[in-house]
Structure 1
Amino acid sequence: MDKRRRKQAKMQSYCSEEVSSIEWEFINMTEQEEDLIYRMYKLVGDRWALIAGRVPGRKAEEIERFWIMRHGEGFASRRKELKRRSELINQQ
């Protein structure tokens, strides 16, 4: 493998490790917080700092990560897997 390909492989490995560490960090929101975030998003879009200003005790980064985890395509398969596992556990 040439030097360029090794560097690309190293960067991909690093990036996937970073994404997976964020992926597993679930953010718990109350029902009221979720409702407010959804309503604010409909009004102002992805202006996370503005939304965070309306949700006491939450940072813009937290709200953005919550939104991405709920609505991001990359997390859809993970959500399905967690839901499937939860249903299996509840059936037992």
Structure 2
Amino acid sequence: MADLDRSSDDTSVDSREDTSQDSKLEFTEDEETLIARMYSLLGDRWSLIAGRIPGRTAEEIEKYWTSRYSTSE
């Protein structure tokens, strides 16, 4: 019975991870504005910028910024 409970918990955790990761990749307009303003003040100090946006990591913000604003030559 413990195995049955555990397997159902694993399934729910997996689906939550997928959902939370998808939602974290989308940034609100307010977050985008704040990131741009903070970047102009701090440069690429992602951990400091992430500290101003609850629920976001430095890695997420850096990935967002480089995918949106990187210049490919």
**Does the pair score TM above 0.5?**
yes
Corresponding residue for 1:69?
67
Higher relative contact order (CA 8 A, sep 6+): 2
* 5+ long unaligned stretches in structure 2: 1-21
Moved over 3 A (4+): none
Percent identity over paired residues: 59
1:72 positional shift: 1.4
Distance in 1 (alpha carbons) for counterparts of 2:25 and 2:71 = 17
Count of residues paired in the alignment:
50
TM-score, normalising length from structure 2? 0.63
Alignment of 1:1-92 (within 5 A): 27-74=25-72
TM-score, normalising length from structure 1? 0.50
* 5+ long unaligned stretches in structure 1: 1-24, 75-92
